[in-house]
């Protein structure tokens, strides 16, 4: 979807006035504010109901525009940005001294990303500065991948929602920390570890010394309906049990429905991981609206291209569990 110049201009004026503007990216919709204005950034936390201290991603048009926000571009980060920007990759780098702690959650690192969506690019080009933006959902809920989902999440808490169609990737960006020499994968996304390693060699997992989002909580990021992940071989029996108990049931699966029932809503997302990832959040939102007793999700196949999806599904299923302290980065935000 192409940017509408009049809407972009309106969005820029609102950002300059310290207001919030939601905008599409290729991953999910973001809730943007002028990253250099701490009062505007504070509005993001209020609109989302997000605890203060959770760091935000600063969106920029490219490497040059990122420079004022970072203390430097380590060689690995530069190579990754050259390879994958604009695109679904966020880099966590040492922060520039002047960056407001409201953006970084008081950490000494900062997350930067150049998104690829044409509307986001037009907005960043016209605005000129950095736009701080988390996913445009209320805290703990599923990231929006459609403009209508943003309106449902935030209503009049946001001054303007820029239309950009359905987000192509549909899952949040891959996050990589380039701090103190090593390269670490903090959040899985459309850009796989292999793709990163093709550019920079070894990419390790987050460890105890990696930056953490305060309040990391594995149990966030979920629909309201209880969700369970079921092995493919057990799905049919689970469905029959639920239907026999008279339960309204929603199923999200790679495979087609084995049977029909007025109590059963079955969404088949297929066996192609990029198509599945693109449709996942919209499907979960739609299923969540049915008032079903449960959402059953057929376990997705193994393989690197499914890892980001399996990660998000595990989080959606973990609702109500106690927070997992080891999580380096939460997607709840």
Q: Residue 251 CB, nearest distance to ligand TXA (Å)?
A: 27
> What span, in angstroms and rounded, lies between the C-alpha atoms of 51 and 167?
26
Q: For residue 188, what are the contacts with CB-CB under 8 A and spacing of at least 6? A: 174, 307, 308, 311
Q: Identify which of 227, 235, 75 has the alpha carbon closest to the alpha carbon of residue 142.
A: 227
Residue 192 or residue 242: which is nearer to ligand TXA going by CB?
Answer: 192
Residue 25 or residue 135: which is nearer to Mg ion going by CB?
Answer: 135
Question: What part of residues 222-261 is at the interface with ligand TXA (CB under 6 A)?
Answer: none
Distance of CA 173 to the CA centre of its chain: 6
- DSSP characters over 110-151: EEEE----HHHHHHHHHH-S-EE--BSS-TTSPPP-SHHHHH
Residue 213 or residue 230: which is nearer to ligand TXA going by CB?
Answer: 213
Q: Which does 110 bind (CB under 5 to 8 A by kind): ligand TXA, Mg ion, none?
A: ligand TXA
**Whole-Å CA distances, 296 to 290, 302, 320:** 13, 18, 16
Q: Residue 29 CB, nearest distance to ligand TXA (Å)?
A: 7
Residue 57 engages ligand TXA in binding (rule: CB under 6 A): yes
Residue choice 30, 87, 144, 273 for contact with ligand TXA (CB under 6 A): 30
Residue choice 37, 135, 225, 279 for contact with Mg ion (CB under 5 A): 135
> What span, in angstroms and rounded, lies between the C-alpha atoms of 178 and 163?
33
135, 172 in Cβ contact below 8 A? yes
> What span, in angstroms and rounded, lies between the C-alpha atoms of 299 and 149?
25
Q: Contact letters (x/-) for ligand TXA, 128-147, by CB under 6 A?
A: -----xxx------------
- DSSP characters over 235-246: HHHHHHHHHHTT
Residue 113 engages ligand TXA in binding (rule: CB under 6 A): yes
Pairing of strands 160-161, 21-23: parallel
Task: Give the torsion sign (CA, 21, 159, 126, 2).
Answer: positive
Residue in the shown chain whose Cβ atom is closest to Mg ion: 135
**Binding piece for Mg ion, criterion CB under 5 A, among 33-41, 133-141, 255-263, 300-308:** 133-141
Residue choice 110, 116, 154, 253 for contact with ligand TXA (CB under 6 A): 110
Residue 219 engages Mg ion in binding (rule: CB under 5 A): no
Q: For residue 291, what are the contacts with CB-CB under 8 A and spacing of at least 6? A: 248
**Binding piece for ligand TXA, criterion CB under 6 A, among 12-20, 107-115, 152-160, 219-227:** 107-115
Q: Count Cβ atoms within 10 A of the Cβ of residue 280 and give its class: 0-12 exposed, 13-18 middle, 19 or more buried.
A: buried
**Binding piece for ligand TXA, criterion CB under 6 A, among 23-31, 68-76, 226-234, 236-244:** 23-31
Residue 211 engages ligand TXA in binding (rule: CB under 6 A): yes
Residue 28 engages ligand TXA in binding (rule: CB under 6 A): yes
Token pair for 23: 């905008």
Residue choice 21, 25, 119, 142 for contact with ligand TXA (CB under 6 A): 25
Report the chain's C-alpha Rg in angstroms.
20
Residue 333 engages Mg ion in binding (rule: CB under 5 A): yes
Q: Residue 236 CB, nearest distance to ligand TXA (Å)?
A: 35
Residue 120 or residue 200: which is nearer to ligand TXA going by CB?
Answer: 120
> What span, in angstroms and rounded, lies between the C-alpha atoms of 26 and 213?
23
Question: What part of residues 146-185 is at the interface with ligand TXA (CB under 6 A)?
Answer: 172-173, 175
Residues near Mg ion, by CB under 5 A: 135, 333
Residues near ligand TXA, by CB under 6 A: 25, 27-28, 30, 54-57, 90, 92, 104, 107, 109-111, 113, 115, 133-135, 172-173, 175, 186, 211, 213, 329-330, 333
């Amino acid at each position: 979807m192409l940017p509408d110049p009049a809407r972009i201009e309106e969005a820029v004026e609102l950002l300059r006035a310290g207001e919030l503007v939601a905008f599409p990216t290729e991953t999910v919709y973001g809730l943007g504010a002028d990253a250099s204005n701490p009062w505007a950034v504070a509005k993001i936390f209020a609109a989302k109901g997000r605890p203060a201290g959770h760091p935000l991603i600063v969106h920029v048009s490219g490497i040059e525009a990122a420079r004022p926000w970072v203390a430097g571009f380590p060689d690995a980060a530069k190579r990754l940005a050259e390879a994958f920007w604009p695109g679904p990759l966020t880099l966590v780098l040492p922060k520039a001294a002047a960056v407001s702690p409201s953006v970084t959650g008081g950490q000494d690192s900062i997350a930067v990303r150049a998104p690829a969506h044409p509307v986001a690019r037009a907005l960043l080009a016209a605005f000129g500065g950095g736009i701080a933006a988390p996913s445009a959902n209320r805290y703990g809920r599923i990231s929006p991948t459609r403009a209508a989902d943003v309106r449902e999440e935030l209503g009049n808490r946001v001054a303007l929602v820029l239309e950009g169609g359905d987000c192509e990737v549909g899952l949040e960006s891959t996050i990589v920390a380039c701090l103190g020499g090593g390269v670490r994968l903090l959040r899985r996304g459309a850009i796989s570890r292999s793709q990163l390693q093709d550019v920079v060699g070894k990419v390790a997992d987050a460890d105890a010394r990696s930056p953490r989002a305060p309040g990391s909580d594995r149990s966030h990021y979920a629909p309201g309906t209880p969700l369970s992940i079921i092995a493919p071989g057990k799905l049919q029996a689970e469905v029959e049990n639920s239907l026999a108990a008279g339960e309204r049931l929603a199923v999200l699966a790679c495979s087609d429905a084995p049977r029909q029932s007025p109590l059963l809503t079955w969404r088949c997302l297929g066996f192609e991981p990029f198509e599945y990832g693109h449709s996942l959040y919209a499907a979960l939102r739609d299923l969540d609206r049915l008032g079903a007793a449960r959402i059953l999700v057929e376990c997705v196949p193994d393989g690197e291209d499914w890892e980001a999806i399996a990660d998000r599904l595990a989080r959606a299923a973990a609702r109500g569990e106690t927070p997992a302290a080891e999580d380096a980065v939460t997607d709840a935000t």
